[in-house]
Structure formats: C-alpha cells, structure tokens
Amino acid sequence: MSNVFFKSVSVSGKIVFFKEVMMKDAISPHGGKLINLIIEGKERETLDEKIPSFKKIRLNKREVSDLEMIATGALSPLEGFMVKKDYDSVLDMMHLSNGLPWTIPITLSATEDEAKNLREGEDIALMDESEMILGILHLEEKYTYDKEKEADQVYGTLDAAHPGVAYLYQMGDILLGGKIGLLKRPKHNDFLKYRFDPAETRKIFRDKGWKRVVGFQTRNPIHRAHEYIQKCALETVDGLFLHPLVGETKGDDIPASIRMRSYEVILEKYYPMDRTVIGVFPAAMRYAGPKEAIFHAIIRKNYGCTHFIVGRDHAGVGNYYGTFDAHYIFDEFDLEKIGIIPLFFDHTFFCKTCGGMASYKTCPHDSNHHVTLSGTKVREMLKKGEIPPVEFTRPEVAKVLIEGMNR
C-alpha cells in the first residue's frame, strides 16, 4: 500500500503543492518505470550470431555514455535515441511528445554518406571508437535537423566558442532515431567501486531506509561553499547522494581522477558516512545551464533521489547564462510532472564578521567581509603549490589538487 501525502515547496517565492508517493522506493522513475534494455540470455546469443551481418555505426564517447544510460534506465523513460517527434517536442516545448518534461535532446548522428546505406526498419550494430560492438539500434527513422535551432533552443547561443555548441556543430547532418539494446557494457577501468546503475542506488537507499534523498551534481572539487549547501540540505533529508560527473568534459576542467580523490579525502574526514553515498555519474557534460539543470534533476530522480540541489549557475560556462537562470527555469514546469523537489541555493561564502559560512540570503554584511576567490586565482595558487584560505577550501582537498595539477 502506498502512503500519499502533499508536500509544499517554495519556487521563486511561490508555494507549490504536489503529491509525494511513498512506495517500496521513495520515488518513482520518470514516466513511472525504470527502463532496462540490457540484453541477456537466449536473446543475446541469437543476436551475437546475427551481428556479423549487421551494418555498423561508430559512436563517439558522448554517444557511448548516452547508450549506456538509456540501457540502464538513467534516462528513463527513453528507450533509444530520439525520433523526430520527440526531438522536435523537446526543442519547442521542453517536453517529450508524451507530455513528460525533458530539456536535452538525446540523439545519434551520422554523416550523409553513413546514413545513405542505412534503411529504416533494420537493426544497426553500435560500436565504440575501438570498434567493439556494444549494442544495436532498431532504426525507426532517419531525419535532418537544424543545428542552429538546436543551439539556440538548448544552449541559448549560436556561438561556436560555447563547448556544447561546438560539439553540436561537428555532429553529422543526419539523426538516427530508434530503440536500442545493450549487448556489452562499455569498458571502464576507473572508479569501479563507485559505478552504480539506478537500480543499484535505489536498492542502496532502500536498504538504508532512506525515504528522502538529496542529490548533488558536480564537475568540480568540493569547496567550502559546496560543503555548506550539501550539509544544509542534509539537515532536512535522510541521506546525501554525491553524484560527480565523470563523463566527457571540456579540456580545462579538472580531470575526474583528481576530483574523485578530492571527494574521498573530504568525505572521510568531514561527512557522516552513514548518511552519505558517493557514486559516479557517467554522463558527458553539455554545459547547457538552465536546460541541463532540469535534465540533471530528472536523471537524479531516476537514480532514486527525492530532492536535488540547484546552485548558482548550475551547469554554466563562461557568461552565457544569468547567475540564477537555472532556478528560474523551474517556474516554467509543472513540478508534479518533474516529480523531484528542487532545492535552490544562493551564492555562499565565509563571512569574517558572521564567523561562519553564509549566503546573500542569510548574511547582512557587504562583500568586503566575505572570503571569495575567483576560479582563476585559485588555479594560480594551486599551480604555485599554495593552499587557499581554509575559509575557502579544506586543506586536505587543496593538497590533492596541488599534487594532481603539478604532476
């Protein structure tokens, strides 16, 4: 029997009420069902025999990570790469054609030369860059698309200096839509003890008895501001799911291996480990700002989170997005359909007068009282082997970053 109650949440000053359903898992996947498209048993054996006769398409790193996430349910309710009606609906309406909120197209591209030999209705073998066959695509549709429209609708800019737009512009001119099946998991040699599928994190949360779980997305080391907002959120829920992205990022982001070590050292010393779980997020970074905030929230819902932290400039890059655009975009959706509670946090810092961490919402003092450092300044200090002020970052984290950046 499910227990249904109404939850209120403040969104940009408005109080919105929606239902939370407490079932075996605390929250249902997006669309109500956790997708599993991993092919096993006799079906796998039959396909292995047929694969040599299939036409083949090579996937890049982002497409490989998307394939794996579709198959494991991280991108539920998607069952494959988007067909045109879903692609168009996401761009124009920020919803799938079935009405569910969705903000980032999940697509597989091909060149015209590659696509001309592929027939709708046939099965295509999907390979990684080493030509290992990972899965199959049942090709339902081949279609053209407008790259500039996608750039504008998803990233809010046509500027090729934006990393997401740059990726889009180098994609093939034809999109291949259809359901997929995963025959073999992509080969991972790193973070093996932290690689959890959504079904596994849901079981972890369930075994711990957690009904209210807050997820945190990051592609950066945790500094004191991150720690502050995570612990503020943890005061209101049963557990924290720290979910750092380890897929493809832009070249000047700190490598995932260094970041993961920095997470380990801060968790060991400063976090309640009985109320914290860390797992890696295999997605590629899109840098789509507000659109990616919605996308990240929905995915964490699929992993079993009931709440999701949205900080300032979530998934931002450069000056393409306003500081709190990732908060405001939630006003454009029915929160009951999104189904996960967003927790919005302002800019946070250490205030010398308050004597602790604070934000613009809680601190009455001007910026002269605050300990803040630009990313550029921090990188300069770390490259020189200098540890930033303890009010900005934990020394243990700084030491890991210094060692990693100066190898």
Nearest Cα residue to 267 out of 230, 238, 298, 305: 230
Catalytic residue at 220? yes
> CA-based Rg of the chain, rounded to a whole angstrom?
22
- 95 burial type by CB count under 10 A (0-12 exposed, 13-18 middle, 19+ buried): middle
DSSP one-letter code for 56: E
Place of tokens 């096993």: 40
* CA–CA dist 135, 144 (Å, integer): 23
Contacts of residue 366, defined as CB under 8 A and 6 or more positions apart, other chains included, come to none
Helices and strands in the chain: count of H runs, count of E runs:
14, 17
Q: Which residue has the tokens 């090579």?
A: 58
- CA separation for the pair 238, 178 (Å, rounded): 39
End-to-end CA distance of the chain: 56
Set 202, 219, 224, 300: catalytic member = 219
Backbone angle region of 138, left / alpha / beta, with phi > 0 → left and psi within -120 to 50 → alpha: beta
Of the listed 195, 220, 261, 275, which one is catalytic? Answer: 220
DSSP 116-144: TT--TTSEEEEE-TT--EEEEEE--EEEE
Residues 6 or more apart from 356 whose CB is under 8 A from it?
A: 350
User: Could you give the CA distance from residue 182 to residue 282 in angstroms, rounded to a whole number?
Assistant: 16
Q: How far is CA 93 from CA 141, 145, 199, 288, 319, in A?
A: 21, 16, 29, 16, 25
Q: Map tokens 């992993």 to a residue.
A: 303
Task: Name the residues annotated as catalytic.
Answer: 219-220
